[in-house]
């Protein structure tokens, strides 16, 4: 019933079958192109050398990357906190918001069904605090808005100052990339001004969605940029020096890889994220880059996914014990 309720509530805003079909087609197209590019990129990889590079990575580098990953996931918890404040659920404590965020994001993204799994996990967490399906649907929408506002702003700013970094990926000239980035940032500014002028609401009578105010939108953008920046820095510190990549191109390509990974709906963006990184940053010798990418996958995707599964399972088991105890 929780799943059915959330799905029904989401229908008014996303009822167009054509749009859904177009999204599926786009996701499949991105995944297919990524698989082709990835297959071509790893043809001449020396896997023994890749493992040797991983083994040579200093422990303090791994520790620093792990701290940056923890910082990124810590900022993700603020997505839910801002959403709760926007819908007026100020009585829900931060620890509940953090639990819902940390369990829903790694599990849903790791499985590759964010729109389906994330609302269900959030409902299981928030229902104990008195939130219903409508509240959870609004939270999912607002957290997604925070993610996209932050990522698109970071993408626009990075491409504006480094337009040639994504030319190997989109095959466009740096000048055209800069104009596209400026247009994207203009759209974000228009949305910010629009939300700042007066309180905004969208949706239907069955599913009204209160949009964040202008200051809250600005805070969303800042948190989104901080989250993405910490994750990109984790990726950068794990790339060995022999890969000869600068930090700013890493940030630009990382953002593009993240957005394409989400658009493909592949589990953890697998294949799409990796192909984008290799195309955007890889030179003739891709072994060091693949080693860094492999370590990042373990620290940023695999470790949080396993931890979130264990934590969510422990919460469900504890609730089961509490329910059976009075009986």
- The pLDDT tens digits for 33-71 are 655 555 555 556 777 888 888 889 999 999 999 999 999
Domain assignment present for 35: no
Domain presence at residue 125: yes
What total number of domains does the chain contain? Answer: 1
- 325 is a domain residue: no
pLDDT of residue 71: 95
Whether residue 26 lies inside any domain: the answer is: no
Tell me whether residue 16 is in a domain: no
Two tokens at 34?
């990524």
pLDDT for 77 equals 92
Q: What is the pLDDT of residues 142-181, one digit of tens each?
A: 888 888 888 889 889 888 888 888 888 878 888 999 999 9
Residue 33 lies in a domain: no
- Per-residue model confidence (pLDDT) at position 94: 93
In a domain, 41, yes or no: no
The pair of structure tokens assigned to 50 is 């890749």
Cα separation, 107 vs 268, whole angstroms: 9
pLDDT at residue 249, as a whole number:
86
Q: Which residues does 165 contact at the CB level (< 8 Å), separation at least 6?
A: 158, 159, 248, 249, 252, 253, 280
Q: Give the chain's radius of gyration (CA, Å).
A: 21
Rounded Cα distance between 37 and 108, Å, is 26
Within a domain: 166: yes
Signed CA dihedral, 306, 280, 145, 95: sign only: positive
Closest CA to 136 of 2, 13, 262: 2
Low-confidence ranges of the chain (pLDDT < 50): 1-16, 19
What domain range is 229 assigned to?
2-9+46-319
- Beta-bridged to residue 210, according to DSSP, are 201
Contact 240, 288 (CB under 8 A): yes
pLDDT at 37: 56
Listing DSSP states for 77-100 in one string gives: HHHHHHHHHHTT-TTS-HHHHHHH
Place of tokens 């658009």: 263
Residue 270 to residue 262: CA distance in whole angstroms: 10
Which of 121-160 are b and which e, b meaning 16 or more Cβ less than 10 Å from the residue's Cβ?
bbbbbbeeeebebbbbbbbbbbbbbbbbbbbbbbbbbbbb
Amino acid 28: pLDDT: 55
Q: Taking the model in full, what pTM does it have?
A: 0.82
Contacts of 46 (CB under 8 A, 6+ apart): 287
Is the distance from CB of 32 to CB of 266 less than 8 angstroms?
A: no
Q: Which helix (H) or strand (E) holds 203?
A: strand 201-203
pLDDT computed for residue 243 by the predictor: 81
* 201 bridge partner residues: 210
């Amino acid at each position: 019933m929780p799943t059915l309720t959330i799905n029904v509530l989401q229908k008014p805003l996303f009822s167009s079958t054509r749009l859904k079909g177009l999204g599926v087609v786009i996701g499949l197209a991105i995944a297919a192109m990524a698989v082709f590019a990835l297959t071509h990129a790893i043809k001449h990889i020396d896997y023994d050398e890749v493992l040797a590079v991983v083994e040579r990575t200093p422990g303090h580098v791994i520790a620093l990357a792990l701290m940056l990953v923890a910082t990124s996931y810590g900022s993700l918890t603020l997505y839910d906190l801002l959403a709760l404040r926007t819908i007026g659920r100020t009585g829900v404590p931060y620890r509940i918001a953090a639990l819902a965020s940390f369990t829903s994001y790694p599990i849903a993204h790791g499985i590759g069904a964010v729109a389906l799994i994330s609302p269900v996990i959030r409902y299981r967490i928030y229902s104990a605090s008195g939130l219903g399906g409508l509240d959870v649907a609004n939270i999912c929408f607002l957290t997604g808005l925070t993610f996209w506002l932050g990522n698109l702003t970071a993408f626009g700013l990075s491409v504006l100052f480094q337009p040639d970094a994504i030319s190997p990926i989109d095959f466009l000239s740096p000048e055209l990339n800069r104009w596209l980035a400026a247009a994207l940032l203009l759209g974000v500014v228009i949305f910010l001004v629009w939300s700042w002028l007066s309180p905004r609401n969208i949706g239907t009578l069955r599913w009204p969605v209160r949009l964040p105010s202008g200051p809250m939108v600005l805070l969303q953008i800042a948190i989104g940029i901080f989250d993405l920046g910490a994750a990109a820095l984790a990726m950068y510190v794990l790339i060995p020096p022999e890969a000869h990549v600068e930090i700013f191109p890493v940030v630009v390509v990382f953002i593009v890889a993240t957005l394409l990974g989400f658009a493909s709906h592949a589990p953890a963006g697998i294949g799409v994220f990796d192909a984008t990184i290799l195309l955007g940053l890889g030179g003739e010798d891709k072994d060091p880059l693949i080693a860094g990418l492999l370590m990042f996958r373990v620290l940023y995707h695999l470790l949080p996914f396993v931890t979130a599964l264990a934590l969510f399972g422990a919460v469900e088991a504890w609730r089961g014990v509490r329910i059976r105890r009075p009986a």
